[in-house]
Amino acid sequence: PLFVLFGSSIVQFSYSNEGWGAILAHAYARKADIILRGYAGWNSRRALEVLDKVFPKDAAVQPSLVIVYFGGNDSTEPHPSGLGPHVPLPEYVENMKKIAMHLKGLSENTHVMFLSTPPVNEEQIPESIRKCGRTNEGCRIYSEACLKLCQEVDIKCIDLWTAIQQRDDWKTVCFTDGIHLSSEGSKLVGEEILKALAEEPSLCWRSLPTEFDEDSVYDPVDEEGKNINISN
């Protein structure tokens, strides 16, 4: 099976700092191919521009699962020049709906999961980035909009804004710079994703077959001379 992680920096950096992408890759080793399609700094508007290129409808193999995250950059405050990553909330919702519909239409077996906008620790954000107007309240608004949309279009959504803040020490342990996830933050995200995937037998890592797990004469041998299949 092919799993694709699609989103902005939360996705692009998901293999660093013991990230949640690496957690998934470890859990699904020899069970699924996990492909990274993360683009730091992107918003939902820019994602739409490449959607057909990243997920062509005529691809020979379509993904079994696509995990999508956009929203943090969209939620930044608008710049007077009209430039920058901000996307007004109604447009963000419409963009995410278009992404959802495109992905759901790839194949009958393609599952889609959205990650809502996680919180930020405003005090930890570097001054140069803080000027862009990234606030925890803005993240909450876009997170709730994403959750509401997913209910309407019947897509599983992980409420990261709420899940991360359930930790009493979330502000001090979950981020590297107030925005991007530390190993502890990623561990929480990975657990939430694996928990959600466990509810779908065709996607749960425990139920997927292991590649080349048949017994072999080349397996390690115990003291009695019997082969031990370590794949199982």
Please give the positions annotated as active site: 8, 177, 180
SS3 at position 35: strand
Q: Tokens for 138, please give them.
A: 């803005």
The contacts of residue 27 (CB under 8 Å, 6+ apart) are 194, 205
Task: Specify the long-range contacts of residues 24-28, CB closer than 8 Å, at least 24 apart.
Answer: 24/190, 24/193, 24/194, 27/194, 27/205, 28/3, 28/205, 28/208
Residues 40-77 as b or e (16 or more Cβ within 10 Å = b): eebbbbbbbeeeeebbeeeeeebbbbbbbbbbbbbbbe
Torsion of CA 24, 9, 73, 20, to 10 degrees: 20
Give the count of alpha carbons within 13 A of 65, CB side only: 26
The values of phi and psi at residue 11, to 5°, are: -85, -50
